[in-house]
Structure 1
Amino acid sequence: MTAIRWVLGKLILLLSTLLSPKGLKRSQDQQQEVDNKAKNHTLYQFEACPFCVKVRRAMKRQSVNFALKDAKNNPAHRAELEQGGGRVKVPCLRIDHADRVEWMYESSDIVAYLEKQFA
Structure 2
Amino acid sequence: MFLIRWPIGRLILLLNFIFSPSAPKRTPQLQKEVDASTAHLSLYQLPACPFCVKTRRAMKRLGLNIELRNINQNEQYREELIREGGKRTVPCLKITNEDQSITWMYESSEIINYLNKFSS
TM-score class, shorter-chain normalisation, is over 0.9
Aligned residue number for residue 17 of structure 2: 17
Tell me which amino acid in the other structure corresponds to 1:31. Answer: Q
Q: Distance in 1 between matches of 2:77 and 2:102?
A: 16
Distance in 2 (alpha carbons) for counterparts of 1:115 and 1:68: 17
Change (3 A) 1:84 1:118: farther
Structure 2 letter corresponding to 1:38: T
Indicate the percent of aligned positions where both proteins have the same amino acid: 49
Question: Could you report, residue by residue, the CA deviation over 1:75-105 in whole angstroms, capped at 9, with x for unpaired residues?
Answer: 1110010111111100000011121111110
Listed as ranges, the gaps of 5+ residues in structure 1 are none
- Which runs of no fewer than 5 residues in structure 2 stay unpaired? none
Q: How many residues align?
A: 119
Alignment of structure 1 residues 1-119 onto 2, 5 Å? 1-99=1-99, 100-119=101-120
What CA RMSD, in Å, does the superposition of the two structures yield over aligned residues? Answer: 1.0
Larger displacement relative to structure 2 (54-63 or 27-36):
27-36
- Partner of 1:22, secondary structure, is coil
Counterpart secondary structure, 1:112: helix
Give the TM-score of the pair, scaled to structure 1: 0.95
